[in-house]
Structure 1
Amino acid sequence: MKNILFVVGSLRQGSFNHQLAEKAEKALEGKASVTYLNWKDVPVFSQDLEANAPASVQTAREAVLAADAIWIFSPVYNFAIPGSVKNLLDWLSRALDLSDTTGASALQDKIVTISSVANGGHEPLFAAYNALLPFIRTQAVGDFTGISVNPEAWGTGELVVAEDKLAAVAAQADALLEATK
């Protein structure tokens, strides 16, 4: 069974992107194992820290290396990739062997897909990821899925996803699995 690593870009308890990840996990049920990356302690990237990467970075790298594919659930911050998610990707894209800075990273050749829950800005977000992912030597697969927050969720805290969007997430899951063969 393939191991899919979920990276939820919002660290907020009960975030809408985490709720979407749970729905995606159901789409993968019986087809792949899913793990969630705990990256809340990854520090701001600094070359001063790189030679002796903190334990939180090492743990994140190990999880990425063990994964067959990565699914990022990203909010939209100012029509862009959240700085915290970009910081994580910066750490993960650095060479594992610092004697060869052009060498392989934990992300090397990883299959990646993106979903996003936000009230807008999905297209600029997806364009930013489409520019970044090949640069950090990953392979983007599937149609990225953008979902708007249902208005009542701001009061209830519960994300409701329309059936057509759930079907898009299921298709995205299938594309991710197909790419790992």
Structure 2
Amino acid sequence: MALLCSLLAWALLALKGLKAEDEACCGTIVPRSEWGALPSTCARELEVPVPYVVVSHTAGSPCDTPALCLQQAQNVQHYHVRTLGYCDVAYNFLIGEDGLVYEGRGWKVKGDHSGPTWNPMSIGITFMGNYMKRVPPPRAIRAAQSLLACGVAQGILSPNYEVRGHRQVQQTQSPGDQLYEIIRKWPHHYEE
């Protein structure tokens, strides 16, 4: 029931067009407890404010409803923990095509999304799906942008943070050609 209430609140906020700077909007992230996350054994915290954000995609199945996205977040975490041996899901946040943000490691815990150089100094957000040939829906893009504004409003992200595509920091095709073209237009994107 708590999940349903949280999802309805997020939908109402999205319909009203509230921005992430609004205090209530910062509380609309689907918490780990509501998507059924395994307990985390991660302990290393990030130093805030964090200067970088790395955007990736899972390259797996997309999800466009809360039920499918809950399952997809669980699938990603199970793969990272049970197959790769990570202490938790690799990302700080996961973005669903349902327009919701799913808490991964959260704002202050170091991720395992971009290698030893970038993990200690960046927030990793991933879009659940494969964006080589298709774009995420606008509601997913808005959710990611609101999340970043929320991070700045809370003092966790530096006001002059830089966004980088996963491919800019590691040898990968992530975040996919189509999503990369979108984030290249974001005001905080760093172009080499």
Range of TM-score over shorter length:
0.3 to 0.5
Query: Larger Cα Rg: Structure 1 or Structure 2?
Result: 1
TM-score between both structures, scaled by the size of structure 2: 0.33
TM-score between both structures, scaled by the size of structure 1: 0.35
